[in-house]
Structure 1
Amino acid sequence: MSTSASQLGSMDKRPKKPPACDSCKARRVLCHPQPGGAPCPRCVEKEIVCTTTPVPRGRPRKNTALPSSSTGRAHQTIPSLVLHPQPNFGSSADCPELSPEFVAHCFEGLNFNPLFQHPLIAVTSIMSDLRTVSFQLHLLPPQSRVLALCSVACGSLFSFHKSVLGHGPHPESFLDNDFFSSSPDLLGCGVRRARAYRALRSEALKAAWELGIILLPTNENAASCYLLDLMEQTDQMGSAGRPWATGYLAHARALAPNWRPPSGLPWGGFLWIAFLMYEGLISARSRTPAMITAQDQLLFCGPEPSLETLLASLEYSANDPSMTLLWTSMKSYMFNVTTLARQLLDEITGDFARSSPLSEAAVLNFLNSLSKLHSILSLLLDCVDMFTTTTPGMTPPADANIDALLITAAYGVCHGLSGLALPFYRELQYRETCGGGAPQSERTRGRLQALRTQAHDMAVLAGRELARGIRYMPKVHYAPVHWATIRAWAEFVVEDADVATEGGAPLDPENARDLETFADELKLLGYSLDAASTPEAFALIERLEGHVNRAIVTMFVPAIDDGANTGQTYNP
């Protein structure tokens, strides 16, 4: 009897079975929790994150006071999560030492990158937090530490610090015009920095994963997700699904009500419109589903007038424009570009649209919209020229804030038209070459060929405007995320130059200048990215410069032959 009693007692003392994980509980299947926080077999089999949310038991405590925030924003705490299995981010043996001096240096470089001025980053207190702890990352709270790591990784794309570029040639400052304009070592810098940049990015990814920033919407987590996606866009092998972009947009939608001032007007409207346009153009370029919805545009920016209304307003005020009109017109322009990017995917280039014969009505409507955009862009750039005092391509003075903003905005609006025109033309080119849908009659093929020709002519105009927009920027600027866009345009303009110069025909001086602009931009991007140093990129730069050199020879040889200075002047 005593033995039986002791056995019963030991059975009563067996540990209780741990609770089921969230996934098994949601699917109402038997869970087999593992000791030590390891993932359950079902989650391992399905390769999903195994999390277990503790369920509070017993009566709730009375008179529980909610924590308040002196800043008016609710403080949120990250739930206790175990993320399994963790992805393999590779080795970080090449990671530079995150000394306060190196961290401050990387943040200084970010001041020269317009993409770091995102409203998501502006709403955080990362800069004041860093100064408070003297740029010592280990003293920051967890979410701020992840954001700082992501920022340092982004900043390393522009850094000339010894721990990033080593002992080779490098600029003396972030505004070293001599080095960035004429140094033959630009492409080598991108190759030399690759190891350190990827190691820093790996550290940021690991920290973000361990903290679970993609699961909890806070200002810091949203900004970190944005920067991780920004770095992914610099990769040629970036994820088509863009999980970090999905995360930061989901966080922004959840947080947006907290950002609206008492007036009820959208917070940071101009910047939000610019960055939503940027997102729309990424989707248009890569033919991936649009991430920005019409509701997002209204939530972050509010309604804007149509292209027709905007064009009429600019034409009416063309002789006496105001700065207010210029800014409000730029907002409306970028808002409409985002809408057109979504329309392009839905009706012409998207996977669903490709499953049906090409809609001529959709193509004609889009051509009409691009024509209006081009007219509006020309009027906007005329206004920019009236209000800026800085010569395009020159760095604005430190106190010329309006000039710097207008120059950046001018490049942005040029980027808007070009970001729509090239994907549109490439799709019509694809449809004509590879077909798409049911067999077409000779008459239908002729109409589609005529539409493709119109789309090509619009792309030529858009490429010229993009080159003009690049020349608005200072000689030293940092936009490595535009690598895919600039390369695609360089391939288009050089293909066009090949056709135009068949049979020895001379290249137009303005076209030669545009080709030189794209070649210089590819080399400037090579300062940050090793992608510009691949054999394919080298060959593309050589083709561009070959056309430019032949154009210069063609323009000046007649002057030598005639014995007089009658050749055309070429101003690179």
Structure 2
Amino acid sequence: MFASSIQITAIAKPKKPSACNPCKARRVLCHPQPGGAACPRCMERKIICTTTPVPRGRPRKNPPKSSLSLSALPQPTHTILSPVGSSCGFSPDCPDLSPEFVSHCFDGLEVDFQYWHPLITATSIKSDIRAVSCQLHLLSPQSYVLALCIVAYASLTSFHEFVLGEGPRPDSYKDLNFFSSRQELLRCGVRRAPAYRALRTEALKAALDACTILLPSNENAASCYLLDLMDQVDFCNTGRPFATAYMAHLRVLAPTWWPSSKTALTFGGFVRWTGALLMESLISTRKRTPLLVTSHDQLFLCGPEPPPLEILLDSLESSEDHSIVPFRWATLRPYLFHFTTLARHLDGIAGDFARTRPLNEGAILNLLKSLSTMHSIISLLLDRIERAGAPAVSASPFYRELQYRENSSNCPSPNPRVRERLATLRTQAHELVVLGQRELARGIRRLPKIHYLPAHGETIRAWAEFAAEEADAHAHGDASPLSAEVARDLETYANELRLLGYSIDVASTPQTSALIERLENHVDRAIVSLFLPGNGT
């Protein structure tokens, strides 16, 4: 009787919070802390403590249909742990992320043209890092990942003692005396490699923990861009997952930029995006992988399609004004735009699938014509616009593909006429590559005395190898000495490889050292021949 009047109230047992991602990965007991604080294990290891919510309970048999979007995905919670003055993770090679070192790395933004990318300037990372006095652990999760990517990539050019350790190093980014040395530059790449790779590993871990590859934002897209660049430095990861994510983020973000007129609408923004997509096409062309940039990407980010190359060449040849200003914007954007389109056409000739099919002679002739027109344009622009020589690199993969096809074991057709025609096309392509190699060397000499191109080291090495092959062939088949102009180009490539050795240890491998020696031997013989009796000196 009394029991019936007693109201029994069920007291729900509080649910235990989910274990954090690092503890799950290590399969150890986690002790979640209230308020999103880091668990004791992550605090001890000094790593990022992230927790991805997991749905509990039995799944419904007939769940309601709904459209899946990124906003519907579970959002991880982050607690950034990177105390000032401590090393990242457990790697003893990782430099201390002190405010002084972080500030030094951000100063490197001004000396590497990769940081001129419009996506990085669209973020507020520079003001964010100043607002927290260069203390990374005070940044928001996405800004933290981007800042760590910037520090990692900046370590490729840094002269800080945390990166280069003991030994000779430059006093500044413009220390001409140090950068004129030879062997010291190559040693720098070897000395910095452990610190750089440790920082890159920490940036990669942070990006994966923060779902950078999944969640579109300006900061995440910029982080993916830098992570892909760092993949190119070590010539690894041919699948390029971060480049794929970077382009996917751009397609989500680009429509939001148009109303603001801050990133894409202005003409200067169109030019910068055209250059950014060109750099992406260079990497794809070099690796013989499908171009990630579609024609719609170009139109959306780079503006309307410009007039054909032939019209551009006619306007340059007919102009009587040889100053730089009239050609800086009006000429540069059409040239870069058409180069990216040309790289897409090259994939139809040199791609993996294209190698399973007979060569399309019409496509090859069109490509040869376009390359010839582009060479004529670049020759005119080199007299007016600095840094216009870099896009000449498209001819080399095209020539190598024809060279590959001409090999008897690679040509699917035994028809003698087909082989003869292929040899003729390769000869035409070879002439263009020789011209392109000379223009690229000319363009490199127009760059500042100190410049950094670590992400394009493989491209420079490929062109240096071609120049050395040409010099070897000349030495074996012609008794006449190399001309002073050719010798100067060989010296330019040798110096460029040595400058790459300041940033990356790949330039210090026995193969690259032997290539530098080959180039310098040809230069030395050319110099000696100039002073022999009978040469008019």
Do Structure 1 and Structure 2 share a fold, with TM-score over 0.5? yes
**Pairwise CA distance, 1:79:** 3.6
Counting only pairs closer than 5 Å after superposition, residues 446-461 of structure 1 correspond to structure 2 as 446-461=420-435
- Matches of 1:480 and 1:263, distance apart in 2: 32
Match of 1:465 in 2: 439
**Pairwise CA distance, 1:183:** 4.3
Match of 1:146 in 2: 145
Match of 2:311 in 1: 309
Q: What is the CA RMSD across the aligned residues, in angstroms?
A: 3.0
Alignment-mate amino acid for residue 499 of structure 1? A
Match of 2:487 in 1: 512
- Matches of 1:225 and 1:294, distance apart in 2: 21
**Pairwise CA distance, 1:437:** 5.4
Alignment-mate amino acid for residue 251 of structure 2? R
**Pairwise CA distance, 1:91:** 5.7
Q: Are the aligned partners of 2:225 and 2:243 in contact in 1 as well (CA < 8 Å)? A: yes
**Pairwise CA distance, 1:167:** 1.4
**Pairwise CA distance, 1:35:** 12
Match of 2:254 in 1: 256
**Pairwise CA distance, 1:444:** 2.2
Stretch moving more, 431-440 or 105-114: 431-440
Identity of aligned residues (%): 57
**Pairwise CA distance, 1:262:** 5.6
Q: Deviations over 1:520-540 (max 9, x none)?
A: 000000000000111111101
Match of 1:276 in 2: 277
Q: Are the aligned partners of 1:91 and 1:199 in contact in 2 as well (CA < 8 Å)? A: no
Alignment-mate amino acid for residue 274 of structure 2? I
Alignment-mate amino acid for residue 252 of structure 1? L
- Matches of 1:484 and 1:335, distance apart in 2: 23
Q: Deviations over 1:5-45 (max 9, x none)?
A: xxxxx9xx9999x9xxxxxxxxxxxxxxx9989xxxxxxxx
- Matches of 2:327 and 2:466, distance apart in 1: 34
Structure 2: gaps (5+ residues): 1-9, 18-26, 31-50, 58-70, 79-87
Q: 2:464 aligns with which of 480, 484, 490?
A: 490
Q: Are the aligned partners of 1:150 and 1:228 in contact in 2 as well (CA < 8 Å)? A: yes
Q: Deviations over 1:114-142 (max 9, x none)?
A: 01111110000001111111111111111
Counting only pairs closer than 5 Å after superposition, residues 84-483 of structure 1 correspond to structure 2 as 92-236=91-235, 238-261=236-259, 266-267=265-266, 268-303=269-304, 304-319=306-321, 323-346=325-348, 348-384=349-385, 407=386, 410=387, 413-417=388-392, 419-436=393-410, 438-483=412-457
Structure 1: gaps (5+ residues): 1-9, 19-33, 38-49, 57-75, 84-88, 385-406, 568-572
Stretch moving more, 314-323 or 114-123: 314-323
SS of residue in 2 equivalent to 1:107 = helix
Alignment-mate amino acid for residue 553 of structure 1? V
Distance 1:169 1:451, change over 3 A: same
Which 4+ residue blocks in structure 1 deviate beyond 4 angstroms? 13-16, 34-37, 50-56, 261-265, 318-322, 434-437
Tell me, yes or no, if structure 1 residue 524 matches structure 2 residue 463: no
**Pairwise CA distance, 1:240:** 1.0
- Matches of 1:537 and 1:344, distance apart in 2: 28
- Matches of 1:423 and 1:240, distance apart in 2: 16
SS of residue in 1 equivalent to 2:183 = coil
**Pairwise CA distance, 1:261:** 4.4
SS of residue in 1 equivalent to 2:533 = helix
Q: Are the aligned partners of 2:507 and 2:513 in contact in 1 as well (CA < 8 Å)? A: yes
Alignment-mate amino acid for residue 141 of structure 1? S
**Pairwise CA distance, 1:326:** 3.3
Match of 2:523 in 1: 548
**Pairwise CA distance, 1:249:** 1.1
Q: Are the aligned partners of 1:246 and 1:291 in contact in 2 as well (CA < 8 Å)? A: yes
SS of residue in 1 equivalent to 2:382 = helix
Q: Are the aligned partners of 1:326 and 1:380 in contact in 2 as well (CA < 8 Å)? A: no
- Matches of 1:254 and 1:54, distance apart in 2: 27
Distance 1:548 1:35, change over 3 A: closer
**Pairwise CA distance, 1:100:** 0.6
Q: Are the aligned partners of 1:189 and 1:528 in contact in 2 as well (CA < 8 Å)? A: yes
Alignment-mate amino acid for residue 494 of structure 2? A
Distance 1:437 1:500, change over 3 A: closer
Match of 1:533 in 2: 508
SS of residue in 2 equivalent to 1:135 = coil
SS of residue in 2 equivalent to 1:382 = coil
- Matches of 2:311 and 2:434, distance apart in 1: 26
Distance 1:133 1:485, change over 3 A: same
Match of 1:80 in 2: 75
Q: Are the aligned partners of 2:322 and 2:384 in contact in 1 as well (CA < 8 Å)? A: no
Q: Are the aligned partners of 1:92 and 1:202 in contact in 2 as well (CA < 8 Å)? A: no
- Matches of 1:544 and 1:491, distance apart in 2: 9
Distance 1:207 1:77, change over 3 A: farther
Q: Are the aligned partners of 1:219 and 1:255 in contact in 2 as well (CA < 8 Å)? A: yes
**Pairwise CA distance, 1:321:** 5.7
Length-normalised TM-score, structure 2: 0.82
- Matches of 1:121 and 1:428, distance apart in 2: 38
- Matches of 1:247 and 1:535, distance apart in 2: 35
**Pairwise CA distance, 1:376:** 1.1
Alignment-mate amino acid for residue 314 of structure 2? A
Distance 1:443 1:164, change over 3 A: same
**Pairwise CA distance, 1:434:** 4.4
Aligned length: 474
Q: Are the aligned partners of 1:357 and 1:436 in contact in 2 as well (CA < 8 Å)? A: no
**Pairwise CA distance, 1:427:** 0.4
Distance 1:307 1:104, change over 3 A: same
Q: Are the aligned partners of 1:126 and 1:148 in contact in 2 as well (CA < 8 Å)? A: yes
- Matches of 1:429 and 1:543, distance apart in 2: 22
Q: Are the aligned partners of 1:96 and 1:164 in contact in 2 as well (CA < 8 Å)? A: yes
